Amino acid sequence: MTAPWWREGVVHEVYVRSFSDGTGDGVGDLPGLRARLPYLRDLGVDAIWVTPFYPSADHDAGYDVIDHRAVDPRLGTLDDLDAVVADAHALGLRVMVDLVLNHVSSEHPWFRAAAEAGPGSAERARFHVRPGRDGGALPPTGWPSIFGGSAWEPFGDGEWYLHLFDVHQPDLNHDHPDVRADAERTLRFWLDRGVDGVRFDAAGGLTKDPAYPELPDGWQPGHASPYSDLDGVHDHYRRFAKVLSEYDGDRVGVAEVWGEPHVIGPYVRPDELQQAFAIDPLFRPLDATLWRRLLAEQLDAVVRHGRLPAWAHGNHDVKRAATRWGEDGARAVLLLMLALPGCVYLYAGDELALPEVDLPDEAITDPTYRRSGGTDRGRDGARVPLPWTTGPAPYGFAPDGTPTWLPQPDGWGTHAVERQEADPDSMLALTRRAIRLRDELWRGAGDEVTWLESLPAGWLGFRRGAATCVTRFGAGPDPDLGGLGEVLLTGGASDGSATWWLRGDRPGTTTDEEAGWDRR
């Protein structure tokens, strides 16, 4: 029996608003994506995850959803979505959609009704609504919003509603039967249309402690909280997993969870989802000892449930990989992740090594900027529309002369697809080669990783199947890799981090001693 595609696949995250504009309004859309599907086929990825394209008030770039079972007219139509799925399938690509079930837009009909209906109403029971303290003057608890400020907003009549994100994203109460039924209906709606998988946005937030306890003294973001990753949240993923299993084909559900390995492991128990993101490494500096521990922990947390990790190389919520780790680091980590057991999620534009853009203040749309009082510049710098041609602006993203929803900086065309396609040393060329070679070397190689225990300090390496992956974190001399096998691919820089893939041509000969390296 062959393993399902997602187990060791590569998924490209298409941030739809910034991928390609087919209609000429400066915002990426479904027709734009459809026209670029051959590019994604050529990249060699198995699937795309398309970020929200539902009707939205755009207070959080589409993650504030007004109707979960429709397409925002600015981004296309349901027919366009069907055409994306059909064309993708014809090209051998799968399509995953992004389900935002934790909250809705404040313009969603349910929330409008709740605002109007008043305190204690049935309409408000679909949300997390509490009386304020001090006769309604103060928020019910001191819970902070993930985007800054309080997580509670007053209705103005003594009751407050919970929003873990922006004030325009009220949290749904998933203990309410209407909310549960609606979530399931949404899931079936997209699966019925033939999508191959689902990303569950803000997956850990669906269950809140009904006692709404105060956070303990000294609590910090990232610590356990009464609104994330509670035991009860797993009942939802068991239900969703059951729905997914009713559909034919290898459908996949991936949980967007930001916790450490022990937090994400439970989401991939055999009766839950197929994947939960391994996001933790995204925030970590490139240090060999640290990464050896991180990677081993991530593997252990999911392999014990018979699953493999879903490595995130980047995404639309963090700084661009080429800025976070440097371009050499982004290359080295890409090759490292592609060599590990599991599925790799690559963020559109990172295959071009796009840098984070420092946008002018007035161009920033991310609610975190406003809610943090300007101290956090937010995530827009990683969402600037992609450059397809060398110029002029908008670099093939939209028809000539169209201003883009986030401004592209001068010189953006130096990173263009057109240019990188012609350069064998480009990040794009490396990504294409690596994805193909990975399939040949490692797909189906199983979950076993044999770490090379005696590499020099600053190095990390392992054998899998008949090949070896070795990473040097940071600059340093290149040891003689000859003893490990024939070098097949290198990604990184001689004066920075780098990863080498080698074919271990004689099984059993790729030990550190034979490579002539000193033990630490």
CB of 184 to ligand GLC, least distance (A): 19
Q: Residue with the closest Cβ to ligand GLC?
A: 63
Calpha distance 213→230 (Å, rounded): 13
CB of 47 to ligand GLC, least distance (A): 17
**In a 10 Å sphere around its CB, with 0-12 CB exposed, 13-18 middle and 19+ buried, how is residue 27 labelled?**
buried
**Binding test (CB under 6 A) with ligand GLC, winner from 71, 95, 162, 202:** 202
Enzyme catalytic residues? 201, 246
Q: Which residues of 352-368 are buried (b: 16+ CB within 10 A; e: fewer)?
A: bbbbbbebeeeebbbbb
CB of 301 to ligand GLC, least distance (A): 20
Choice between 366 and 512, CB closer to ligand GLC: 366
Choice between 165 and 500, CB closer to ligand GLC: 165
Q: Which of residues 70-89 bind ligand GLC (CB under 6 A)?
A: none
Choice between 124 and 371, CB closer to ligand GLC: 371
Q: Is 317 in the site for ligand GLC (CB under 6 A)?
A: yes
Residue with token string 């991530």: 298
CB of 126 to ligand GLC, least distance (A): 18
CB of 203 to ligand GLC, least distance (A): 9
**Binding test (CB under 6 A) with ligand GLC, winner from 46, 60, 351, 512:** 60
Alpha helices (H) in 246-324, listed in sequence order:
261-264, 288-303, 321-324
Calpha distance 123→137 (Å, rounded): 22
The encoded tokens of residue 154 equal 């007053």
How many CB atoms neighbour CB 240 within 10 A? 23
Choice between 60 and 280, CB closer to ligand GLC: 60
Instruction: For residue 114, give the 3-state DSSP assignment.
Output: helix
Residue with token string 């691919």: 489
Choice between 49 and 517, CB closer to ligand GLC: 49
Q: Which of residues 217-256 bind ligand GLC (CB under 6 A)?
A: 256
* Nearest Cα to Cα of residue 397 among 382, 421, 379, 416: 416
Choice between 327 and 350, CB closer to ligand GLC: 350
Q: Is 206 in the site for ligand GLC (CB under 6 A)?
A: no
CB of 171 to ligand GLC, least distance (A): 10
Q: Is 63 in the site for ligand GLC (CB under 6 A)?
A: yes
How many CB atoms neighbour CB 185 within 10 A? 11
Calpha distance 231→335 (Å, rounded): 35
**Binding test (CB under 6 A) with ligand GLC, winner from 72, 182, 201, 229:** 201
C-alpha pair distances (Å), 516 with each of 234, 466, 482, 512: 49, 20, 9, 6
Considering CB under 6 A, how many residues would be counted as binding ligand GLC?
A: 9
Q: Is 100 in the site for ligand GLC (CB under 6 A)?
A: yes
Residues contributing to the site for ligand GLC (CB under 6 A): 60, 63, 100, 165, 201-202, 256, 316-317
